[in-house]
Structure 1
Amino acid sequence: MTVPPPTLTIEIDRGQPLPIYLQICERFKTAIAAGHLRPGDRVPALRALAAQLNAARGTVELAYTILVDEGYLQMRGAAGTFVSSSLPASLPRSTREPVPAAELAWRGTEEDQAPDVSSGGQAAARRTPIAVAMSGEPRPLQPGLPGLDVFPRKVWNRLVSHHARGGAQAMLAYPDPAGYRPLREHIATYLGLSRGVTCLPEQVFVTSGYRATLELVLRSLARSNDRLWMEDPGYLLARNFLIEAGMQLVPVPVDEEGIDVEQGMRLDPQARFALVTPSHQSPLGVTLSLARRAALLDWAQKASGWIIEDDYDSEFRYSGRPLPALKSLDRRDRVIYCGTFSKVMFPGLRLAYAVVPERAVERVARVAHSMNAGSPTLLQAAVADFMVNGHFARHLKRMRALYSQRRMLIVRALEKEFGPRLMVDLPCGGIQFAVQFAAGSHAQVDDVAVAARARDAGLGVLPLSIWYANSRARRARRGLVIGFANVADAAQAGRLARILRQCLDN
């Protein structure tokens, strides 16, 4: 006979600084310590407790995962979740602990704290500093930020002013949800020449940023609770949005050849999507090998799945020419190519684009029109002129040379300040890189705390561990993700490296 769960009232206080998932953990531990929950008692199901608390299911799942990891609960598959029959030897009467300043510094919304869970129920990172770390006033060493000090503002202002003064009604009317036609044409031409992507302008959809691109793609092609391979570690912003969108994430490990397709096949061969960063893996910087590219395309064909290729900063490669896109190898039309102007121009532009397979154009166009979320025509027209007049190509050429110099400035400064305590493995391209704390200090260094102190000191570095689906897992590396595109000179690089070392020494 099934034993009903005991009556258990759990209350949470959204006014507390303590995250909701930690409040849930505290309530369970207190109930167990007080004897209200005994070994073998069944606890409420995830969905039921989430509904009771009016909280995200992922938030409750993270709390349960922590309690399982600590030995308080046991998951028994379809039978449910129970209080462990072998509880920890010492049960504290009060489980509340002071919340570390580092944790408070990195909190976002409740949704930000919810975990990424694969179909196997793996827990997410504990903290998600996206809203704080990637928006607002630019900070030194902030990942993903291009060189704002060297963008050709005069040229850009002239192009924008030209269209603003022209008075064309198209500049004032509602924008085309699919994008400004001349810009779509220039993007198609540019991708054919630089990335090996052959496409028609009709396949190009201009959006108001990468998140909007993902939303357009998923609304057009995904079904509720579809499973998606996600690189582990993988891009933070994408991971949080995918959870909000109802996707079931399957974290797939990344090694020196990129996403491990064989592991993905073992974890979930029937997933319908894979989100990858083949040219410059985010955040580790590795390049997806040719063998893995072929295997990934083969999986997509056999599973009738879709590959979302995020080619976010592939234009910046410092040895040899930029690599061809994964989309250029796609003979079965299974790859959706995503690009952005945030890295090659500036993020405040809020322009990105997707190249969708021909078979999906009609569906995506229909959804784009229903969303009615086109980007301002004025800015799209200015970007089109920026491209057709040659300014775009000249800017990219100049930035490749400049960024190559700037990344070495910060690398030399880090090596001087940290010595063997920090391992720097430079990728071939991109505008950011990951560093790791050297073996021996790995277990002692809390990269989240270091990054929080760095933020208090005015820097924009991010902790590497939170890019993993489970930041507490043994395989999650401890280190920092560092942007270098705005390091102006050696003196500034040295000053920033010293501040960073002080944050570690503290």
Structure 2
Amino acid sequence: MKSTSTHDFLQLTPGADEPYYRQIYTRLRSAMADRLLKPGDRIPSARALAAELGLARGTVESAYSLLAAEGYIEARGQAGTVVATGLKAMPAAVGEAPPLLASSAPTGFAPSATSPVLRPFQMGVPALDAFPRKIWARLAARAVRATQTADMLYPPPAGLESLRAEIARYLQLSRGITCSPAQVFITAGYRDSLDLAARALLQPGDKVWVEDPGYIPASALLREAGMKLVGVPVDQEGLQVGVGVQLASRARAAVVTPAHHSPLCVTLSLQRRIELLDWASRHRAWIVEDDYDGEYRYASRPLPALKSLDRDDRVLYAGTFSKVLFPAIRLAYLVVPASQTARFEETARCFSGGSPALTQDIVAAFMAEGHFARHIQRMRRLYRERRELAAAGLDAVLGKYMQVEAQPGGMHLLLRLRGRRSDRALAERMRADGMFSRALSECVLESRPDLPPMLMLSFTNIESHRQAQHLARRIFALL
């Protein structure tokens, strides 16, 4: 900060019902609304403020994490933490937070690459405040200290053997997938996995089934690679395999999200799974199973992966650490059929730049020592709670205008708009207001008048009913 003393606005109330981290969060937020703290002003480090207030450092870090998640502050490395430079100077209503970012919001499917701010409802981002950073830091420091000369060479194109072995072991226990480490290929994210699969197994001009609505970035990648996309409609049982057979029975591949369809969150039924595997076996086609958040099911235990039912070795299983650890890690993996490992090794050698060996080593240790499995279990409990808080807060404000549809799993909620409102128009207004939203109509390949107008909102970083209500009021103002 420039010259403002923290005591001017950070007088905490001992014994209050509101915990200290929430008091710090509220007072700093109010100071920004009152212009005591202006965009670009530096705030004390968590360590310095904790010492000044006589609190544990973790308490202050929790408050800072919440402020950062909502876009009020941003880290500047060695320059410290400052008030977000795009924070709009508008007075807040009593008891409410000031509006966020004045800069134009992105209109695509991901936050701006130049903005480090986590926007409310941002899709695909896990609960960053709950990540075990101390454990991660300890493992990272140990890995750095143990670095040898050989570790500083180019990493193996397929990934470190230690990480591949840990992934194979974990998948057998958690997802019912039996595979060898040689079948596991480490990539720099799901799109890198899909690109590797397309280069190894497909040719430009091949027809590929994709879900409609579906994950548009995957479709864009396949289209750019020269594939002919066949949009196969999705209903409450998932991909309509029979329709896919009618449209293109001899397609070379199908890209699916069977655990939680992206974006509708429905689960591919057992009958449809059998039909899909039968189609792939009869026509020697490939199936890419994108299991981006299959671990997060709240109504029951996570369902076995489609790959676990594959008896003819036609399924490639794609997993990612971005959704379960943090996106900046840029680490994913692809389990390929045993018969195709040699082809994938050659393709990876030609086209893959590999992932940083140090990061892979840290993740391998994180898994080997049991931290990964425990983290997944904690996140499953936390997301169940946050999903309920977010749904209740949104419904309390927007229930007359939208219906919250909480699916049995996944990392986002679906809001069905009542009446004739345009989901695309509302999503654009939300992004312009500093929030993040995706409209269902933005995820279709072909016109789908049968689909209702819906919004997709992530709940993973919604920490309280009050926060959800505040954000719901911001949405209400845009209706």
Count of aligned residue pairs for this structure pair = 376
Q: What letter matches 1:373 in structure 2?
A: G
Secondary structure class of the residue paired with 1:394: helix
1:500 matched to 2:475? The reply is yes
**Cα contact 1:283–1:433 (8 A) shared by 2:** no
Which residue identity is paired with 1:204? V
Corresponding residue of 2:209? 229
Structure 1 residue ranges, 4+ long, deviating more than 4 angstroms after superposition: 104-107, 133-136
Of 437, 456, 462, the residue aligned with 1:481 is: 456
* Cα drift, residue 399 of structure 1: 0.6
Q: 1:427 and 1:272 mapped to 2: Cα distance?
A: 31
Task: Indicate how the Cα distance of structure 1 residues 459 and 307 shifts in structure 2: closer, same or farther if over 3 A, else same.
Answer: same
Given residue 467 of structure 2, which amino acid in structure 1 is its aligned partner?
Q
Match of 2:245 in 1: 265
In the alignment, the residues of structure 2 paired with residue 320 and residue 376 of structure 1 have an alpha-carbon distance, to the nearest angstrom, of 36
Q: Contact (CA 8 Å) 2:105, 2:434: kept in 1 or not?
A: no
Can you list the C-alpha shifts for 1:23-63, whole angstroms capped at 9, x where unaligned? xxxxxxxxxxxxxxxxxxxxxxxxxxxxxxxxxxxxxxxxx
Asked whether the equivalents of residues 329 and 359 of structure 2 are also in contact (C-alpha less than 8 Å), the reply is yes
Residue in structure 1 matched with residue 78 of structure 2 by the alignment: none
Alignment partner of 1:224: what SS? coil
Alignment equivalent of 2:266, drawn from 286, 304, 326: 286
1:454 equivalent in alignment to 2:434: no
Kept in 2, the 8 Å contact 1:133–1:460? The answer is: no
Q: Distance in 1 between matches of 2:296 and 2:422?
A: 31
User: What are the equivalent positions in structure 2 for 1:62-73 lying under 5 Å apart?
Assistant: none
C-alpha RMSD of matched pairs (Å):
1.6
Contact 1:277 1:310 in 2 (8 A): yes
TM-score (norm 1): 0.72
Contact 2:386 / 2:464 at 8 angstroms: preserved in 1?
Answer: yes
Secondary structure, aligned partner of 1:433: strand
Quick one: distance in 2 between partners of 1:199 and 1:136?
A: 37
The normalised TM-score by structure 2 is: 0.76
Matches within 5 A, 1:347-426: 347-426=327-406
Partners of 1:226 and 1:247 within 8 A in 2:
yes
What are structure 2's unaligned runs of at least 5 residues?
1-103
1:54-93 alignment runs, 5 A limit? none
Deviation readout 1:378-409 (Å, 9 max, x if unpaired) = 00000000001111111111111111000111
8 Å CA contact 2:157, 2:352 repeated in 1 = yes
Gaps of 5+ in 1: 1-103, 108-127
CA distance in 1, matches of 2:194, 2:377: 29
Distance 1:381 1:241 in 2: 29
CA distance in 1, matches of 2:268, 2:115: 29
Q: State whether structure 2 residue 194 is matched by structure 1 residue 214.
A: yes
Kept after mapping to 2: 8 A contact 1:410/1:497: no
8 Å CA contact 2:393–2:466 kept in 1: the answer is no
3-state SS of the aligned residue for 1:230?
Answer: strand
Per the alignment, do residues 105 and 349 of structure 1 end up closer, same or farther by CA in structure 2, a change over 3 Å counting?
A: closer
Question: For 1:97-148, what per-residue CA distance to the aligned partner results, in whole angstroms no more than 9, with x for missing partners?
Answer: xxxxxxx9665xxxxxxxxxxxxxxxxxxxx444649985321111111001
Task: Report the identity percentage.
Answer: 48
Task: Give the aligned residue type for 2:262.
Answer: S
Per-residue CA deviations over 1:403-435 (Å, capped at 9, x if unaligned) read 100011110111111124212221111111322
CA distance in 1, matches of 2:337, 2:438: 35
Counterpart contact for 1:434–1:464, Cα < 8 Å: no
Alpha carbons of structure 1 residues 492 and 313: separation in structure 2 relative to 1, 3 Å: same
C-alpha offsets along residues 315-367 of structure 1, whole Å, 9 cap, x if unaligned? 11112211000000000000000000011101100000000001111100100
- Flag the 1:182–1:365 CA change in 2: closer, same or farther, 3 A: same
Per-residue CA deviation, residues 462-506 of structure 1 (Å, 9 max, x unaligned), is 111111113x54134311111000011122111111112222x2x
Q: Is the 8 A contact 1:130 1:236 kept in 2?
A: no
Q: What secondary structure does 2:477 align onto?
A: helix
In structure 2, distance between residues paired with 1:341 and 1:158: 19
